[in-house]
Structure 1
Amino acid sequence: MKLTSTIAAGAALAAGVSAGQNNYLGFNSGATLPDESAKFEKDFLAEFTTAQKLPGAPGTFNAVRLYTNIQAYSTNTPIEAFSAAIKTKTKILLGVWASGTTNINNELAALSAAVKQYGSDFTDLIIGISIGSEDLYRDSATGRTNKAGVGNGPDEILSFINAYKKEFANTALSSVPVGHVDTWDAWVNGTNKEVLDAVDWIGVDEYPFYETGKGNKIDNAGKLFNSAYQTTLGVANGKPVWVTETGWPLTGPSWDEAVPSVENAKSYWDQVGCEILFNKVPTFWYNLRDSNPANTVKFGVNQKLDGTPSFNLTCPAVSKSTSSSITKPTATGKGSTPSTLVTAPSQTGQSGANNAGSAKGADSSSDSSASKTSSSPASTSSHSAGSINKVSGAAFAGVALVAGIFATLF
């Protein structure tokens, strides 16, 4: 994409942003490793410390988005990401796995235990909580067609939101903003309006890579992303819209016109991350490292956690004339309905990268690319518009979870 079109996307996005939020920078993190074994504190520590010291990064990536509160392969033990976050002062976007279940009792029990165990050292790091991840997408006709895995409908998600609020009404978490994460086309679906009305903020997962039939080559990625984001802002009724998953794969098979490569991943980082999102909108990139072996496309910015990124993370210099043409957002993620919406890509397929997070653990976005079949809190990310068959990490984790933990409720 030419710089001018990227700038236009940045300006359009800025028009829907206002004050009141911090512009968090972070990655997604699931509960399991590539071999499906559980992550423990040392694994999360390695991720969080690496993220905070990435050379050339446009800021400090000191926030993490989780898919579940439950330690992998346990029933309701708090995930060890919590203690790692405390030790590294990493901000936490909590996640509650909400698919394939009729209640979130174990998720709430794990979170309650963590609050009791860690106190304010833990609660002071919490920036929000997402009740569910792409559940509405997976439960939709498109999700079922794409075999995205088990989801949940708006009535169930609403009941889970109310259950969380009731459980933590008189605690240190009572003022934590409550949201839900889904694909852009799930948010614009009128049948899900009750969920939109019930949340304090909206999380959107958007992958132009999967925008089948929309000219999804890398040069068009910024335009496709902005189109979907602006469409989400248009239905947000002024609520903050956080970007909870986005990225471009480094390796793997092509998807329509989209080609994975290190060069294209860098271009997407520059077009979407640098020009539109970083330090303007709360952003959780997909991903620091991949954790889903079933996914054939790989996104890891630093897969080995050795401090050497897959590509140069330094953002391009912006000329004075360029910077002056972009409206500077005064805040981060709060979207006032844009006066003019960019035409959004039609809902043709997969909506986000399956973000699942179940007891086994959500392997957050590392597998947000192809066939989504997640039904547990593993790592997931959906691709909003292109039709996809991505097996999200979360979904993958969920499958394994089913063997033991899912029944208690990737």
Structure 2
Amino acid sequence: MRFNSIAALFSVVGYASAIGSLGFDLGVQRNSDSACKTSDDYISDFETISGYTDTVRVYASSDCYTLANIIPALKEKNFKLFLGVWPTDDSHFASEKAALSAYLPTIDASYILGITVGSEALYRADLSASDLASRIDEVRELVHAIDGYSNVPVGTVDSWNVLVDGANADVISSSDIVFANAFSYWQGQTMANSSHSFVDDIMQALQVIQSTKGSTDISFWIGETGWPTSGGSYESSVPSVDNAAQFWQESICGIRAWGINTLVFEAFDESWKPVTSGVSGVETHWGVWTDDSTSPKFSLSCEFD
């Protein structure tokens, strides 16, 4: 299915009466020494991005003591969090649930925008759709039993094309909130095609989610999107600051103008990551900010700001 007009887009999302929210995916390791971020590190991160958003997403709860260390920063800077739970392998999943049980009761539920179980677990074939749906239900039961948390949505994050696959309807049905990831860069798009490709991918995912849930009243976010600023090219996609700036204006500003909530991958470069052999260096340069800068690499203003 292709969305070749704004009218077709509005038939899925409806007329946007509000601008879509903006947030950032956030790494949990320091670039200086690869150590886990402390509460002070998160406070510093929040101070840098606070002029643009008060919303971040992390990928796990127990890894790197993330939930324990980020809670004081959320309270001090009044930030909101999408909290990840890693569902693959039983021992890891048990540690994630233990972190939820230990630390969520120490913070008001208003700081937690949602819980996402898995991050592209279906795309990587880490879990079957039925197993992931079961783990979403298990986390929901745990979270909603915590005092004050009965209305916190629980769902998942996956690649747009996986969500479109009808074989994964059980996961959508089990989710209160669904995030779709879409990267025109990893589809090898030129800048001339990147925005159209991105919007079409997201709209396909949203239409399938709404059809599966039987309602347009479901919380939906773009879970990851962005453009790298350095590293190797992927097919026709070329990393550069100029291209990242263009993608921001045409795709991120554009889709937010149509009311779609968007999390950008990612807030900061992660130079601690190993240089990949396939596309040299690109994984360390997805940040909107460098790992040691308080100013973004390019303008983050949109026409509606």
- 1:164 corresponds in structure 2 to 139
Structure 1 position 185 matched with structure 2 position 171 = no
Cα distance in 1 between the residues matched to 2:19 and 2:247 = 23
- 2:186 corresponds in structure 1 to 210
TM-score, normalising length: structure 2:
0.85
Structure 2 stretches of 5 or more lacking a match? 276-280
Pairs within 5 Å for 1:304-319: 304-316=291-303
Pairs within 5 Å for 1:9-408: 12-18=8-14, 23-34=20-31, 35-53=33-51, 60-72=52-64, 78-101=67-90, 104-118=93-107, 120=108, 123-139=109-125, 151-171=126-146, 172-212=148-188, 216-236=189-209, 237=211, 238=216, 239-277=218-256, 280-291=259-270, 292-295=272-275, 296-297=281-282, 298-316=285-303
Q: CA deviation at 1:48?
A: 1.1
8 Å Cα contact 2:144/2:152 also seen in 1: no
For 1:152, give the aligned amino acid. L
| Identity in percent | 29
Q: CA deviation at 1:307?
A: 2.6
8 Å Cα contact 2:100/2:143 also seen in 1: no
Cα distance in 2 between the residues matched to 1:221 and 1:191 = 27
Q: CA deviation at 1:190?
A: 2.1
TM-score, normalising length: structure 1:
0.64
Distance 1:110 1:168, change over 3 A: same
Cα distance in 2 between the residues matched to 1:14 and 1:52 = 31
- 1:4 corresponds in structure 2 to none
For 2:179, give the aligned amino acid. G
For 1:268, give the aligned amino acid. F
8 Å Cα contact 2:60/2:96 also seen in 1: yes
Cα distance in 2 between the residues matched to 1:23 and 1:80 = 29
Q: CA deviation at 1:211?
A: 0.7
RMSD: 2.6
Distance 1:49 1:240, change over 3 A: same
Distance 1:287 1:12, change over 3 A: farther
Higher relative contact order (CA 8 A, sep 6+): 1
8 Å Cα contact 1:10/1:276 also seen in 2: no
What is the count of residue pairs matched by the alignment?
Answer: 286
Cα distance in 2 between the residues matched to 1:175 and 1:14 = 28
Cα distance in 2 between the residues matched to 1:22 and 1:161 = 29
Cα distance in 2 between the residues matched to 1:266 and 1:195 = 34
Q: CA deviation at 1:251?
A: 0.4
Distance 1:61 1:95, change over 3 A: same
Distance 1:78 1:261, change over 3 A: closer
Q: Which has the higher helix share?
A: 2
